[in-house]
Amino acid sequence: MFGLCKNSEGVFKYEFRRQLLASMCITIITFCHGFGLGWFSVILAKLQSPAQTELDFVINVEEGSWIGGLSSLGGGCGNIVYGILVDLIGRKASIYCLAVPYIISWILVYFARSVEYLYVSRFLAGVTGGGTYVIIPIFIGEIAEPKIRGRLTALFSLTLNSGIFCGYIITARIRYHLIPIVGVVMTLIYVLFQIFFPETPMFLLQRGRNDRAKESLKFYRNYAPTTKESAIEFERAYQKLKSDVTSHQANTNTVTWHDFCNKRAMIAFGNGLVLMWLNVFCGAYAILYYTSSIFVAARTELHPDTNTIIVGLVQVSGVYTATILVDRFGRRPLLIFSCAATGVGMTIFGLYGYLLTNTSVDLSSVSAWLPLVNVCLIMFVANSGLIPIPFVLLVELMPPKIRAKAAAVCLVLFNIIGFLLMKMFPITLMAFGLYLPMWFFAVTSVLGLIYIVVFIKETNGMSLNKVEA
């Protein structure tokens, strides 16, 4: 089958096949994490209903908001813990460690006797999720060549949303106690696949293991010496990588406060924080976590689980669109389009919610289709830009000397504001209905659009060591 790829272009080109395979295998864990998010979005409404819950207790709105919020707090802890581990024990060992808290989280779901079990479970699942945001971009960035790096990194969001979609479907049709078994089995498959891929050449060079680094580079470049010219070209690529790593180590070993406080670093750090804020408060994550609850509030005629599954399919389509276009048209045009369209969608949804709860306007003629169509529009355009691309830019915009530390700070703040959103959204939804949070998301998207047009530069195709803030 891979022989057919010899004449292929783009990410399926023959010499890129192992980079693609390694990226697909490591993002199995993001599929698993997405599966857990999809499970929570569907199961929450059932656990809050005495007639539908399969457990011995019922969750109220306050407890449900804590379950959603603790996932983000766990993500912040995962950013910190795995941010340390990824350099302390290496990329490969950290990749294996991602599976540990996730498996424990599903065991707690299976044996849940009170809401506290679910609190700890979602926190641990968040730890794994936070770790993926640190480890996977670093791993893919170190094995992928610049011309396909954007598409391979976008696999993170594609597999995440595919997992969410599968979580929607399976949770709506399978009994509660079968879901944790599925989650554990998928995670073990992920661990098994990691055996076939070596440590990244950059990390091995950092540790002085030059021979293993050269073999790793040969593996990921799919190098097979056929001519003298190809051998010379590979040796040149290896020496360049070795020189870059040596230079990078010399710089990072002497990091000072001045490296964070100079103009370039401050601009890059500010851009990172704004992108994280925009990623959270564009509203897509609120819809993602509380899809069924939102459709209940919108009073649609279709069953909330059916609407949720349709939205999940649209999410996957949106991220797939971003995966195809991110290296073809660039990061900035996709972000601009995504911000503008998300703002329009949120404005319409807020108007619908306001008319529904604050006026006597008869919406029966549109309630069957408008909420679903509008949510599908929002999730498609958000996942084609605002959701996946900020994490690509977060790595590309930061100066090499402080990239890891600055990105880690941005990711921790991302999870803190994510916690605020997950904690407050269901309470706000119950208190005010749809219109207030949706209009807040619309304003955020419009302000984000202005910021991106004025301040965010294009990074498509640039080397990680040459991207300027």
Segment 80-104 shows an average pLDDT of: 91
Q: Which of 185, 200, 215 is the last residue of a domain?
A: 200
Same domain, 269 and 413: yes
Q: Helix, strand, coil: what percent of the chain each, to 5?
A: 80, 0, 20
In whole numbers, what is the pLDDT of the chain averaged over residues? 82
Segment 113-131 shows an average pLDDT of: 92
- The residue ranking higher by pLDDT, 201 or 395, is 201
- pLDDT more than 90, % of the chain: 22
Same domain, 296 and 378: yes
pLDDT of residue 439: 93
pLDDT of residue 326: 63
Q: Which of 187, 221, 252 is the last residue of a domain?
A: 252
Same domain, 286 and 398: yes
Residue 411 has pLDDT above 90, yes or no: no
Question: Per-residue pLDDT tens for 291-319?
Answer: 777 877 777 766 666 766 777 777 777 77
Same domain, 217 and 175: no
What is the domain extent for residue 228?
A: 204-252
Question: Per-residue pLDDT tens for 277-287?
Answer: 998 898 888 88
Residue 249 has pLDDT above 70, yes or no: no
pTM: 0.76
Instruction: Report yes or no on 362 lying in a domain.
Output: yes
pLDDT tier at 2 (50, 70, 90 boundaries)? very low
Instruction: Report yes or no on 4 lying in a domain.
Output: no
Same domain, 117 and 266: no
**E-only strand ranges, 305-377:** none
Same domain, 171 and 264: no
Segment 133-140 shows an average pLDDT of: 87
Segment 84-108 shows an average pLDDT of: 92
Pick from 69-73, 79-83, 109-113, 358-362: least confident:
358-362
* CA pair distance 72, 78, nearest whole angstrom: 10
pLDDT of residue 1: 36
Instruction: Report yes or no on 1 lying in a domain.
Output: no
Structure tokens at 25: 């295998």
Instruction: Report yes or no on 340 lying in a domain.
Output: yes
Segment 336-363 shows an average pLDDT of: 88
Same domain, 141 and 159: yes
Angle (CA) 268-133-437 rounded to 5° is 80
Question: In this structure, how many other beta carbons lie within 10 angstroms of the beta carbon of residue 133?
Answer: 25
Same domain, 359 and 394: yes
- Number of domains observed in the structure of the chain: 3
Instruction: Report yes or no on 303 lying in a domain.
Output: yes
Instruction: Report yes or no on 391 lying in a domain.
Output: yes
Q: What is the CATH number of the domain that holds 319?
A: 1.20.1250.20
Q: Outline where 15-145 has alpha helix (H).
A: 17-26, 28-47, 61-88, 91-97, 99-110, 115-143
pLDDT of residue 261: 78
User: By C-alpha distance, which of 253, 274, 106 is closest to 190?
Assistant: 106
Segment 61-84 shows an average pLDDT of: 86
pLDDT of residue 301: 67
Residue 3 has pLDDT above 60, yes or no: no
* CA pair distance 52, 56, nearest whole angstrom: 11
Same domain, 243 and 176: no
Q: Report yes or no: 34 and 136 within 8 Å, Cβ to Cβ.
A: no
Instruction: Report yes or no on 5 lying in a domain.
Output: no
Same domain, 78 and 209: no
pLDDT tier at 468 (50, 70, 90 boundaries)? very low
* CA pair distance 203, 92, nearest whole angstrom: 10
Segment 31-36 shows an average pLDDT of: 92
Same domain, 408 and 464: yes
Q: Which of 182, 200, 218 is the last residue of a domain?
A: 200
Same domain, 140 and 153: yes
Instruction: Report yes or no on 380 lying in a domain.
Output: yes
Residue 84 has pLDDT above 90, yes or no: no
pLDDT tier at 469 (50, 70, 90 boundaries)? very low
* CA pair distance 196, 433, nearest whole angstrom: 50
pLDDT tier at 323 (50, 70, 90 boundaries)? low
pLDDT of residue 6: 45
Residue 172 has pLDDT above 60, yes or no: yes
pLDDT tier at 459 (50, 70, 90 boundaries)? low
